[in-house]
Each structure stands twice: as structure tokens, then as C-alpha cells.
Structure 1
Amino acid sequence: MYTPPAFRDDDMDFLRASIRAAPLANFVTATAEGLFASPLPLLLDESEGEHGVIYGHLAKANPQCRVPPLCDGLAIFMGPDAYVTPAWYAAKQETGKVVPTWNYVAVHAYGPVEFFEDTGRLLAAVHRLTDHHEGGRVSPWAVSDAPPDFVQAQLRGIVGLRMPITRIEGKRKMSQNRSAADRAGVAAGLSSSERASDREVASLIPIAT
């Protein structure tokens, strides 16, 4: 990921939080048959390894899980993002030398890919992933709510994914390359937006001098 120094983020707590907060990631592998990419809900187990281990699953019919990767896999997690209009910059009135841009948070996690079909491991991964996404609900659904034979039939249609993270890159592009006045203008503009993501981006912009 191209990351100018001003936007590089090595705060592992923030990067892990960004991974946990991403409801859907893009999982990418390079193979002898070309690139494969699948949008997947993924779970980070922070208790394993130096940087944690990512778990998920793919449909068994998905060719990505049948073609061996030639190198480490890549999981792309996107955080809040927002369009930034030059109209918010103080510099617009001063020089007019401004252009639109986009502010965003991105985390790229790399590691060796393991696909597995063991029923016990699959069931454990599905339980954990479900519990993660259902945890905040008033009446959370559990895998055990479904008939056991139905669950077993569903497991036969998926392949598990395990990827220990060996390298992680973080990018927090939040107008750090702009003046304090420009950053304040962007934060004010995004704070007034009706989009929740815009307001979240506003809260991440460093507006202090």
C-alpha cells in the first residue's frame, strides 16, 4: 500500500480496532491462475501469534479456495472514509490552489493462507464469527438456534480460512498534510454531514496546531 510518511499509522491498538470494526473485508490471493478476491466477514484472534490470526470461511464452490496461493494472502480492511471538497479549505480563499481528495482509514494484513475443511474447526470458526457479529444485538442469534443436522449440512458447503498475520500496514489519511486552518475547515464541514461515516472521519482529523 502506498503510504506517505504523514499518513502512516503504526499504532497497533488502532489498527486492531480498525480490523475489529470492519464488517466486511476483501481477501486477496495471487495464484498461478491469476488474482482472486472475495469480500468476506473476517475475525481477528488477537491471542494467537505476534499480530494475531485472521479466521473466516468461503463457499466451497468459490475457486479461490481450490487454487493454492503463490505467496502470502492479503486481507484489506477499510475504516471510515469521506470525500473532502476543496471548498472547506482556508487555502481556497487565499490562493485557490486546492483540489478535492478523499480521507480514509485502511489496514492491510498479510500472511500465509490455510484453507481447511475439518468439521470441528469449521464449526468453531462459524460459532466465533457469528458470536462476534451478533454480540451487540438485543436478542442475538446463535448457531445452536438452528437444527444440528441443518448446521452440519451448511458446513459441508464451506471451507475455513486461517491466516496468521506476519505483516500489517496501516494508513490513516486525515488531512495531516494540510495546514491547521484547512484541517479545521475539513473537520467542521464533515461534522455537519448527515453521513455517520463523515462525522466519524471528522473526529479523526487532528485539528490542533
Structure 2
Amino acid sequence: MYVPHHFMEDRKEILHRLIIENPFGTLVSNGQSGLDANHLPFELEPNMGELGTLMAHVSKNNPLLNDITALDQVLVVFQAGNAYISPTWLPSKKDSERQVPTWNYLVAHAKGRITFHNDEVHVRKMVARLTKRHEASMDSPWKMSDAPKDYISELLTHIVSIEIEITSLLGKSKLNQDDGATDMIGAGSALIAQGEQKIGVAMLAAAKNLKD
């Protein structure tokens, strides 16, 4: 990933938060059949390994299991939002027409070594953990024990748990930092006004940091 210095984000705690709040990632692998991408919900264990460990599960029918082997390098991409930026939102345009449209976004790239777990105990724990997290905000959270035990046990035989020990973690926060705080505030405010909260709020926060 190309990351100019002013867009770079390498603070582990910030990138961990991005992953936790945006857990649906794209797992990119380069195996025997070439490049492949799988879209999966991940769980991050931040204290497992120097940079954390990602956990997920895939179907036993997924070609990924035969295409790569344990400890192969993979890449997981997490996106926290993106938005089109119009030059008309940038106050500096009033002084000069030297502005063009751009696209802002927040992403994290996690590279690491992948391992597979086939045993039911490990798979059950992974699914239970993922379910508990995403059901936590529900009025009546669903639990695995709510379904028939034999039904759940049968389903678990069809999936494999995966773990990715993160060996490299890099983020890119492209928020018009190269245009300065005034333009960031102008564009960020315009985004918020039209309902694009995530990138708009991120731009205002980044602009405040530039001012400070």
C-alpha cells in the first residue's frame, strides 16, 4: 500500500480500534491457484502476539484450505469508511482554482501467518466468542445454547477456525491532511451535513490535531 508520510497511521492502539469497530475484513492470499480474496468477520485478540492475532472461520468447502498451507503469509484489509470530496467544499478554492476532487478513506492492512484449527472445541470457542460479541447489543442476545445441541454440533463439523498472527500492521488515514486544517474542516463539515458521519468526524478530529 502506498502511504505518504502525512497519511500514515502506525499506532497499534489506533489500528486495533479500527479493526475492532470494523471487523468485516478481506483476507487476501496468494496460493497455488494465484491471488484469492475471502470476505470474513474477524475477531481480534490484541494481547496474543506482539501485534495481536486475528481469528475467523471458513467453510471446509472453501478452496482456501487446499490452496495455502499453515504459516503462509496472508493480508487482511479492514476499511473504516470512505467518501468523495468535492473541491467546492474546500475554502482554499475561493483563493485559487487549484483544487480537484479526491476520495478520503480509513484503512488498516494486517499481514501475518495463518494457521488452521479443525478440532470442535477450538471451533466452538471461536464461534461462541464471535456470536457473543455481535449479539451483545441486542435486546435479547442469541446464544449458541438457544439452538438444539445436535444441530449446532453438526454445523460445527462443516467449518474450520483460522488464526492469523499479525506480523505487520499499517494504516492509511487519507483525510486531506496535505491541504491543511481549514480545508479539512470545510470538507469534513460538508460531509457531516450530508450524513457522511464517519469520514466527516474523522476529518474534523484530524484537523484539530493539526491545529494543536
Counterpart contact for 1:183–1:206, Cα < 8 Å: yes
Q: Deviations over 1:48-101 (max 9, x none)?
A: 111111100011111112211594111111012211111111222222111111
Q: Deviations over 1:15-65 (max 9, x none)?
A: 100000114110111112101111100000112111111100011111112
Counterpart residue number, 2:162: 161
Unmatched 5+ residue regions in structure 2?
A: none
Partner amino acid, structure 1, of 2:156: L
The structure with more helix, counted as a fraction of residues: 2
Counterpart contact for 1:43–1:56, Cα < 8 Å: yes
| Gap change, CA 1:102 and 1:87, over 3 Å in 2 | same
CA distance in 1, matches of 2:144, 2:118: 18
How many aligned positions are there?
209
Q: How do 1:62-141 and structure 2 match up within 5 A?
A: 62-68=62-68, 71-141=72-142
Counterpart residue number, 1:145: 146
Counterpart contact for 1:81–1:201, Cα < 8 Å: no
Counterpart contact for 1:104–1:201, Cα < 8 Å: no
Counterpart contact for 1:134–1:141, Cα < 8 Å: yes
Secondary structure of 1:194's partner? Answer: coil
Q: How do 1:51-70 and structure 2 match up within 5 A?
A: 51-68=51-68
Report deviation, 1:13.
1.2
CA distance in 2, matches of 1:200, 1:42: 25
Counterpart contact for 1:43–1:129, Cα < 8 Å: yes
- Output the TM-score relative to the length of structure 2: 0.92
CA distance in 1, matches of 2:159, 2:20: 22
Counterpart residue number, 2:4: 4
CA RMSD of superposed structures (Å) = 1.7
Report deviation, 1:139.
1.4
Unmatched 5+ residue regions in structure 1?
A: none
Runs of 4+ in 1 over 3 A off after TM superposition: 195-205
| Gap change, CA 1:82 and 1:93, over 3 Å in 2 | same
